[in-house]
Amino acid sequence: MTRTSEPPTPAPRTDRTVRRSPRSRKSRWSRWASDTGWRHLVAVLVLVFSLIPIVYVVSAAFNPNGTLSTTNLLPDSFSLNNFRRLFTEENIPFAHWFANSLVIALPAAFISIFISSLAAYAFSRFRFTGRRPMLLFLLLIQMFPAFLAVVALYLIFGGIGEYYPVAGLNTRLGLMLVYMGGALGVSTWLMKGFFDTIPKELDEAATIDGASHAQIFFGMILPLAAPIIAISGILAFVGTINDFILASLFLTDREQMTLAVGLKTLVAENAPASYFGVFAAGALLTSVLTVTVFMSLQRYIVSGLTGGAVKG
C-alpha cells in the first residue's frame, strides 16, 4: 500500500470551497461541513448501523429474563443468569460445543494452511509441465464449494464409517477432513500470489550458500510469508467456525455438535422462550474468540484480503 502518497481528497469539494471562500469567509463551519463534516456524518450513520445488532446481543445476554419480549436495545437490568445457565444446564452442553468447534477448526486450519503453503511454493518457485492447467483447475474446483457436493460427502462418509468408525458420520475427525479439503483452493491461490512478491534473488543467494529447497522453504519463505499465512489461517478458521451446512449434517449427537449447530438449537421454533438470552450469551462468548483473533491481526487483514488484486 502506498501510504506515503497523498490520499485522494475528493478534489471537487476542496475546489469549490476554495472558490467560494472569498465570498463567505465568515462561515468556517460550512467549510468544515463540506470538507470533513459529511465524513463524520456518513461514518456515524454506518457506525450506528453496524453497532445496533451487537448492542442488542449484549443487552440480551445480560437480560435476567432471557426472553425476546423483555429484551430492549439498551438493558434495563443486569444479571449473569444466562451465562450461568450456559454452563450448568445439562441440556446445553455449551462447553462441549465450544471445545468441539476449537478441536475441529484449529487443526483443520493449521493443516490445510500448511499443505496449501507447500503447494503454493511449488507453483510460485518451480516451472514444470502441467503447472498452468493445475492452477486453472484449482481456480475452477474452488468454485464448486464442498457443500455443493454435500450429498456425495454424506454418502462417502457413510461408507468410510463402515470401515473406519473413527472418521465416519457423526464424528469430529470426519468433519475435520472435509474442512481441510475445502479450504485448499482458496488459500493456495492467496499464498501463491504472496510468494510471487518475495524476490527470487533471495532463493538464489541461499542456494549458492548451499541451502536445500526444503531449507529455503522452511527457513526463509515461511517466515517471510507470515502475514499471508496469518490471513489464510484466520479465513479458514473463521470459515470453519461459521459453517452450518456440513456440521449440521455430520454431527447429530448433542454433545458432538459445534457452536453453530448447537446455538441454532437454542433459538429453534420449539425451544423455550427464555433460551434466547442463553443463546445471546453463547453468541457473545463465541464472538470473543473471533473478535480477538481479528483485532490482533488487524494490520495484516487489508493487505491479505486484497492480495494480488490490489498491487499498491
Partner 1 sequence: MLDQRSQSAGSGTATGMIIKIAVLAVVTALAVWAALPLIRAEAWWALAVEAAVVAIVFHLYLQRRKIPPKYLLPGTLLLIAFQIIPVIMTIGTSFSNYGDGHRVGKDQAIEAIVAAGVQQTPGGTTYLLAAGESASGELTLLLTDTSDGSTWAGTEEGLTELPGAETDETGRITGAEDYSVWDLAELNERQDELTALAVPTGENTGIRVQGLSAFEGASTRSYDESCDCITDSATGTVWHADDEAGVFLTEDGQEALVGWRVNIGLDNYARVLTDPDIRGPFLGVFVWNLVFAAGSVLLTFAVGLGSAMALNRPGMRGTKAYRAVLILPYAMPAFAMILVWAQMFNRDFGLVNDLLGLDVNWFGDAWAARAMALLTNTWLGFPYMFLISLGALQALPADSLEAAKIDGAGGVTAFRKITLPLLLVALTPLLISSFAFNFNNFNAIELLTGGGPFRAGDDAGGTDLLITYAFRQAFGSASSDYGFASAISVFIFIIVATISAVMFRSTRKQEDVYS
Residues of span 74-93 touching partner 1 by CB under 8 A: none
Strands, E assignment, the chain: none
Of 154, 173, 224, 274, which one interacts with partner 1 (CB under 8 A)? 154
Taking the complex as a whole, how short is the minimal distance between the CB of residue 244 and partner 1, in angstroms? 5
270 binds partner 1 (CB under 8 A): no
> Which cell numbers hold the place of 285?
462468548
Taking the complex as a whole, how short is the minimal distance between the CB of residue 139 and partner 1, in angstroms? 8
165 binds partner 1 (CB under 8 A): yes
Contact by Cβ (8 Å): 81, 66 = yes
CA 291-297-302 angle, to 5 degrees, is 105
**Nearer CB in complex with partner 1: 93/282:** 282
Q: How many other CB atoms are there within 10 angstroms of residue 26's CB atom?
A: 7
Binding to partner 1 (CB under 8 A) within 29-68 occurs at 36, 38-40, 42-43, 46-47, 49-54, 56-57, 60, 67-68
Taking the complex as a whole, how short is the minimal distance between the CB of residue 284 and partner 1, in angstroms? 9
Taking the complex as a whole, how short is the minimal distance between the CB of residue 282 and partner 1, in angstroms? 8
17 binds partner 1 (CB under 8 A): no
162 binds partner 1 (CB under 8 A): yes
Task: Write the burial class of residue 48 (CB in 10 Å: 0-12 exposed, 13-18 middle, 19+ buried).
Answer: exposed
Of 33, 99, 102, 150, which one interacts with partner 1 (CB under 8 A)? 150
Of 264, 271, 274, 300, which one interacts with partner 1 (CB under 8 A)? 264
Spatial separation of the C-alpha atoms in residues 278 and 266, rounded to whole Å: 8
Helix (H) or strand (E) holding 222: helix 222-224
Cα-atom radius of gyration of the chain, to the nearest Å? 25
Find the Cα–Cα–Cα–Cα dihedral 202, 204, 210, 216, rounded to 10°: 50
